[in-house]
Structure 1
Amino acid sequence: MATTDHASKSTDVPLVEERPHQKGMPESPDSVMVSLAGAMTLGLEKGKFAREEIVLRGLNVLMTYQENCSANCSYCGVSRERRVARDERTFIRVKWPVVKVDELIERNNTIKHQMRRLCVGMLANPKSFGHSLQVIEEFKQRTDLLISGLITASLIKSKDDLQKIKDAGADRVDIAIDAATEELFERHRGRPVKGPHRWDHFWWVTEEATKVFEPGTVGIHLVVGLGETEKELLESCQRAQDLNVVTHLFSFNPEPSTLLGDHPQPPLGQYRRCQLGRYLINELGVNIHHFRFNRSGQVVDYGLAPEDLDVVIDSGHPFVTSGCPDEHGQTACNRPYGNGRPSEPMRNFPFVPTPADIQDIRAQLWSDWEGDDHAADDGAMG
């Protein structure tokens, strides 16, 4: 893949000044950023979860460096040109403290918790691939956690690189594609924002990963609300499913002082319909060709009888966080703050929704729907 950087004149995303590097900050592989939920669970941060049903099942960490991430994704809290002091930065709008790996391992092994999986995330930094392998190896040797690798695909040059992640101790990998279409990927992650990422390469890495890891153990991340239609989002879910790759959904949530800091969240109805469609595609094997969409790209029909769709909705499972599982097949990476702060409406439930939650979900599901009066012919992928 070519990485020559040519800024596009067609983007509507403004460019801003690059942040200075933060000298003296601890770096990987000795230290990592830790999700706020994980830091709370291990006693590194004070706080409690907003709902008593929330129990953290997975620990998320991310590589960290004094220099900025070399990528500049328009929505990302660690983007190169984010206009905020490095020591005040957030990721997914919550704090990610920097912690020594040794301390994390010690706390994991001595503090009572219910976490069953570790997710080790890379940054777009040349050192990040090798350092993530070291962190995976450390946790594999010294803990009983299952391990996932969250891949920055631009760092992967061959299938051998993916084999190294597996050999280090990861049994699953995810590729954060994020944008559902090539045009949106380019606009928000590629040349217009002076970023290194390329759509074709991310999908190539996804397909190569299925040749290294066991069937069903490769996933992608997609973010709802970057400008795609529901049809386009679910077409990418189907593309992944055709590769035996599961999709993990996130709702866009504007990170202050990023290039998309003023961009609105997608309506809850839009997100709920995408969650339901993803679940049907990934978990029940319903092909998108059975779906119908209106001319705005909104879901009109999922191709199921109403009574069958009601059973799926009432189960609550489509709206539970889609993440890597534990040894029993239950979601371990349940990310309580993966879409925003606890004061905001819960978009991904880190537990099975209660009957009261299901009632709210039903009210949200079609709340912004434009109707079926201008329906497209079918859900065939174009």
Structure 2
Amino acid sequence: MVEMIRVSYGTAIAMGLIKARLLARPTTAYLMLYHQGKCMNDCKFCPQARSSKAGSEKLSRVTWPEFPIERVRVYFPNGNFRRVCLQTIDYQGMIDDTLEILGMLADFNVPISVSITPVPRDVLEEFKELGVDYIGVGLDVASERIYKEIKISRHSWAEMWRFFHNVVKVFGRGRAVVHLIVGLGETDKELLETIHKVYEEGGLVSLFAFTPIKGTALENLAPPPIERYRKIQAAHYLIKTGVAGLEDFEFDENGNLIRLPKVDIPAIAFVTQGCPWCNRPYYNERPGKEPYNFPDVELVDVEKIKRELI
């Protein structure tokens, strides 16, 4: 019987579980499986990795305090959320716990996303029956060249892509959301090739900026420059919308993106991308800094970004 669940700090504030000020209100309720140990995988960027010395309450830079699940069910309506996003970590019993929690979440009567490591196709079918309509696929590393080095995982590059294809088969095109982290050692060319592949084969891309967390293997790696991230966001938008193909981008001999097609890039390109109603406020950076992914289109200064992209 699952008794506890983790709730992202901002989600907990929106629910009224924590008294604090919200700088940007989450439109999705972000929840995470509660597990006393670490994840079985050992991804070098992740606080949940089995060798990480970071606290178990962390995912990226966000704190996820634990609460009794019955209390969360009582407070949930206060948040006026449009979606639930359930994050999982890999441990024995994870699938059973996920199914149990999904049964409880059905009471909220909102669409559900699940971000999960590869599970069998019949489990995906069960998720669908329980109200899940989007699946987050944590490929994370955009380059097969460095995947094994960064993702110390039970699941290979090929296995992740097989899982992605199963999600597309079960949930339909546009429902497999592939998470990609910018700044793990991949080139811009590798990033755009992977982004293009995801869209060509029926998925969506959700971009993240690498965030160094104390206690992880990559705690001393710098986050990507905001200028680089903006170029990738713009290129992602052009690929996603079909405005540009890989042949329309220019790279140098090291795979750095040096020229975008000369078309207008709207503000929406720089807003959090992923499942509907996902805005992930301040997931990659501390409040007060310019967000890598803006939580709201009204916060985007398009003219400033255009000047940076030139």
TM-score (norm 2): 0.94
Compute the RMSD of aligned alpha carbons. Answer: 1.8
Matched, 1:358 2:309: no
Matched, 1:318 2:269: yes
Give CA deviations for 1:131-189 in whole Å, capped at 9, x if unaligned.
1121112111x112110111112xx1x32122122122201111010000112221011
Residues 209-220 of structure 1 correspond to what in structure 2 (within 5 A)?
A: 209-220=167-178
AA of the residue aligned to 2:72: L
| Secondary structure of 2:149's aligned partner | helix
> Is the Cα contact below 8 Å between 2:112 and 2:131 reproduced in 1?
yes
The residue aligned with 2:104 is 138
Matched, 1:46 2:39: no
| Secondary structure of 2:63's aligned partner | coil
Q: Which of the pair has more CA radius of gyration?
A: 1
| Secondary structure of 2:138's aligned partner | strand
> Is the Cα contact below 8 Å between 2:47 and 2:53 reproduced in 1?
no
CA distance in 2, matches of 1:75, 1:285: 33
In the TM superposition, residue 283 of structure 1 has moved relative to its aligned partner by 2.8
Give CA deviations for 1:292-312 in whole Å, capped at 9, x if unaligned.
212232223333xx3xx23x2
AA of the residue aligned to 1:120: L
> Is the Cα contact below 8 Å between 2:47 and 2:54 reproduced in 1?
no
- Structure 1 residue aligned with 2:224, among 243, 266, 288? 266
Residues 1-382 of structure 1 correspond to what in structure 2 (within 5 A)?
A: 29-50=2-23, 54-86=24-56, 89-109=57-77, 111=78, 113-140=79-106, 142-153=107-118, 156=119, 158-190=120-152, 195-303=153-261, 306=262, 309-310=263-264, 312=265, 315-325=266-276, 332-354=277-299, 357-365=301-309
CA distance in 2, matches of 1:354, 1:169: 32
| Structure with the larger strand share | 2
Q: How many residues align?
A: 310
> Is the Cα contact below 8 Å between 1:29 and 1:131 reproduced in 2?
yes
In the TM superposition, residue 321 of structure 1 has moved relative to its aligned partner by 0.1
CA distance in 2, matches of 1:85, 1:218: 29
| Secondary structure of 1:171's aligned partner | strand
AA of the residue aligned to 2:274: G
CA distance in 2, matches of 1:284, 1:115: 31
CA distance in 1, matches of 2:176, 2:243: 17
* Identity in percent: 29
TM-score (norm 1): 0.77
In the TM superposition, residue 347 of structure 1 has moved relative to its aligned partner by 0.7
Which structure 2 segments of 5+ residues have no match?
none
CA distance in 2, matches of 1:66, 1:189: 22
> Is the Cα contact below 8 Å between 2:204 and 2:274 reproduced in 1?
no
CA distance in 2, matches of 1:46, 1:257: 28
AA of the residue aligned to 1:295: E
In the TM superposition, residue 285 of structure 1 has moved relative to its aligned partner by 4.9
| Secondary structure of 1:210's aligned partner | helix
AA of the residue aligned to 1:101: I
In the TM superposition, residue 363 of structure 1 has moved relative to its aligned partner by 4.2
Which structure 1 segments of 5+ residues have no match?
1-27, 326-331, 367-382
> Is the Cα contact below 8 Å between 1:92 and 1:337 reproduced in 2?
no
In the TM superposition, residue 45 of structure 1 has moved relative to its aligned partner by 2.2
In the TM superposition, residue 55 of structure 1 has moved relative to its aligned partner by 3.0
| Secondary structure of 1:161's aligned partner | helix
> Is the Cα contact below 8 Å between 1:122 and 1:129 reproduced in 2?
no
AA of the residue aligned to 1:58: T
| Secondary structure of 2:132's aligned partner | coil
> Is the Cα contact below 8 Å between 1:36 and 1:94 reproduced in 2?
yes
In the TM superposition, residue 353 of structure 1 has moved relative to its aligned partner by 4.0
Give CA deviations for 1:246-278 in whole Å, capped at 9, x if unaligned.
000000010111000010001111111111111
Greater shift, 271-280 or 92-101, is seen at 92-101
CA distance in 1, matches of 2:112, 2:32: 13
In the TM superposition, residue 200 of structure 1 has moved relative to its aligned partner by 0.7
| Secondary structure of 1:212's aligned partner | helix
> Is the Cα contact below 8 Å between 1:175 and 1:220 reproduced in 2?
yes
